[in-house]
């Protein structure tokens, strides 16, 4: 039998939790590996598991919040391209 210490995502050291809350996943994995003497794969699984609970919140942007200027710019560029193509078609170069 191995004398492997089992740690759950709820029992992580406070420094690891703070790194997760700050959005620093790699730093959290490094801190966990050093403090608990875990392998990379085990530390990664634990940090990703804790990330769901303690990680930074996602920010969703709705369609209504998108800027409208880009669509106007696209239409203007399309009109300019069409006018340039018509000029080359009729007058040639």
Tens of pLDDT, residue by residue over 43-78, are 999 999 999 888 888 777 676 666 666 577 788 888
d(CA 3, CA 52): 29
Flag whether pLDDT at 1 surpasses 70: no
Backbone angles phi, psi at 68, to 5 degrees: -90, -15
* The overall pTM is greater than 0.85: no
pLDDT at 18: 94
């Amino acid at each position: 039998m191995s004398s492997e210490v089992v740690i759950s995502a709820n029992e992580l050291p406070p420094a690891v939790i703070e790194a997760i809350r700050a959005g620093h996943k790699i730093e959290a994995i490094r801190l966990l590996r050093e403090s608990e003497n875990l392998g990379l794969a085990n530390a990664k699984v634990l940090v990703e598991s804790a990330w769901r609970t303690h990680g930074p919140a996602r920010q969703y942007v709705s369609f209504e919040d998108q800027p409208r200027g880009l669509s106007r710019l696209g239409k203007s560029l399309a009109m300019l391209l069409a006018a340039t193509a018509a000029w080359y078609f009729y007058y040639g170069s």
